[in-house]
Structure 1
Amino acid sequence: MRKKSIAGLLYILSLLPFWLLYTLSDLLYYILFYLIQYRKRVVLENIRNSFPEKTAAEHMDIAKKFYRYLPDLVVEAVKMRSMTEADVKKRIELINQEEVDRHFRQGKGVIGVTAHYGNWELGIYRLSVMTQYPRLVIYKPLSNSDFNDVYNALRCRFGATMVPMKQILRHIVQLRHQPHISMFVADQTPMYQDSDYYMNFLNQDTLVYTGTERIARLTKNPIVYCHIGRKEKRGYYYCKFTTLIENPDDYEPHEITLKHNLFTEEMIRKQPEYWLWSHRRWKRKRRT
């Protein structure tokens, strides 16, 4: 009953027009930044440590732009509940789709990599309506099972299959003889038991997932980065595909992991306000 209530409320709110949702977003910015100061200490600490070369004023400017953007993500996620396929295609332009199609024509699966940047949730929809080949979205289950089920149902509206991280190998093996795409949001913080590889990411010693590399080496599939950026017009995005890895066997251990994370870092440095700074990304320190 609780899940139905959440889903029902989400649908009703999604019927509000964009202009009204963005008015609510503007109000939410002041609430998050000035009133409740949602994770403000975490955000500023992350930004300061990532950009030590910048001034305090520049750090605050990035933070304010992030808090301006965060409520937009919230209301856009709500709006997704009633979006049509035409709405999705209108909101996200695909750039270099031929990079994915090229691998499909060769009969290969594609390992897609993205980050908590731009509107990654809307990116799931755009991926879903891009092709009829199987679309797997790899995710880390939420601690609240009700919200987890509601959001997964929302993400699957256009045919994507949500796959928990621990089940990905079984699903990919089942699809090994046909074109498909598996999408990894690869900038999450792993548990200690899930990774032991640290790298310098945004000037900080960072524990990173190596699962994308492991899957690539097992399947021999190429890795394509999906850069979801924001256009100047509010609520409009682009998704640019770049093949980072053609043949995983050509790379040394951890080189693939390093490559896609450095691609993410470069993207963040160009427009830092569109990354999820409120996430406790550096909470896993090296064990001594």
Structure 2
Amino acid sequence: MFSYILYGFVWLISFLPFRVLYLVADLNYLLLYYVIHYRRKVVRTNLCNSFPEKSLREIKAIERKYYKHLADLSIELYKLWHMSEGSIRKRCVFKNTELPQSYFDEGKSVIGVLGHYGNWEWMSSYSLWETGADFLALYKPIRDKVTDRMMKQIRSRFGAVLVAKDDTLRVIARYRSENRLFLAGFIGDQTPNGRNLNFWTRFLNQDTPVLLGTERIARKYNIPVVSVHMRKVKRGYYEVEFVDVCANPSELPQGKLTEMHTRLLESFIQEEPEFWLWSHKRWKHKKKF
């Protein structure tokens, strides 16, 4: 019953204009940060460990900015449900689409690696900027079927093709067999489960396990890889920039591609740290020496 109530509530509030929704976000920020203390310990620990050179005052300033951004993210996600194409194109601008297009012109599909940075959910509007290739949005299905249906409706609103993470290899193989082009969005900062702690690197001053799925698929099919940087220009407005990572992943030694896209994400975070998902328990696994 709760899932149906949530479905109806989100559907209704997604009709509200941004100026009203951001008033709700302001209230949510106060509740999350000052009242509920939502994952404050996790955020503070992650920030202190990632930026040991910063003072506590500087850490707290980033922390407050982060919670304001976090409050914006939820309403921006739900607003996707009833945003017009004109509105999302104005609010989420893809700057250099000629980079992936250059690969499409060569008959090559592309893997785009991004992190939980900026508003990664609005990346699903990429299909409005590119008609010659499908945008494959990888996602983890939600157990609750009603909530899962709601999220799929929101995320596919502007033409993204949703691919359950366990179906990734099969779907990519099918696209290749059918000679259909795609840009597949891989999240590069997911936390591996305990069975997949196979690759470790230094990320934000900490030993960090990284999933190798992106690299394995890219090297298997020699799919060019680009990094996706989503910059928050101002509240409710983002710019997406593609950064070339590797045109021929199969030529790289194992682990090199993962290092390359991880270093790029790290540089984005260091530039404007408040826009990364600090409440995520990214370092719950510890390296065993």
- TM-score with structure 2 length normalisation? 0.95
Partner of 1:153: 153
The offset of 1:26, in angstroms, is 1.0
Contact persistence 1:111–1:224 (CA under 8 A): yes
- For 1:8 and 1:131, locate their aligned partners in 2 and report how far apart those are by CA, in whole Å: 32
* One-letter amino acid of the counterpart of residue 154, structure 1: I
State the distance in 2 between where 1:12 and 1:94 align.
Answer: 29
1:252-263 equivalent positions in 2, closer than 5 A: 252-263=253-264
What is the CA–CA distance in structure 1 between the aligned matches of 2:182 and 2:248, rounded to whole Å?
Answer: 17
2:194 aligned with 1:189, yes or no?
no
Match of 2:218 among 216, 219, 236: 216
Corresponding residue for residue 275 of structure 2: 274
Alpha-carbon distance in 2 for matches of 1:195, 1:137: 24
Q: Report if the CA contact (8 A) 2:80-2:157 is conserved.
A: no
Task: Label 1:144 to 1:277 Cα distance change in 2 as closer, same or farther (>3 A).
Answer: farther
The aligned amino acid for 1:149 is: R
Superposition deviation, residue 158 in structure 1: 1.9
Question: Normalising to structure 1: TM-score of the pair?
Answer: 0.95
Query: How many residues were matched structurally?
Result: 286
How far the C-alpha of 1:143 sits from its partner, in A, is 4.6
Partner of 2:250: 249
Q: What secondary structure does 1:279 align onto? A: coil
Structure 2 gaps, min length 5: none
1:66-88: CA deviations, max 9, x gaps? 01111111111121110111111
Deviation string, structure 1 residues 128-171 (Cα, Å, up to 9, x no partner)? 21223222111223354432331122101222121122211100
Is 1:32 the equivalent of 2:32?
A: yes
Residue 175 of structure 1 aligns to a residue whose secondary structure is: helix
Residue identity (%):
40
1:142 alignment counterpart: 142
**TM-aligned CA deviation for residue 252 of structure 1:** 1.2
Q: Secondary structure at the match of 2:167?
A: helix
What is the aligned partner in structure 1 of residue 227 from structure 2? 225
Specify the alignment match of 1:129 in structure 2. Answer: 128
Q: Determine if contact 1:197/1:208 at 8 Å carries over to the other structure.
A: yes
- Alpha-carbon contact 2:81-2:153 (below 8 Å) kept: no
The runs of 5 or more residues in structure 1 that have no matched partner are: none
Q: Kindly provide the amino acid, as one letter, of the partner of residue 13 in structure 1.
A: I
Partner of 1:239: 240
Q: Shift of residue 247 of structure 1?
A: 0.6
Cα RMSD of the aligned pairs, angstroms, is 1.5
> Structure 2 CA distance, aligned partners of 1:170 and 1:79?
32
Distance in 1, matches of 2:197 and 2:138, equals: 17
- 2:207 is matched with which residue: 187, 205, 224? 205
CA distance in 2, matches of 1:215, 1:209: 12
Q: What residue is the counterpart of 2:266 in the other structure? A: 265
The answer (yes or no) to whether the contact 2:124–2:135 under 8 Å persists in 1 is no
Matched letter for residue 102 of structure 2:
R
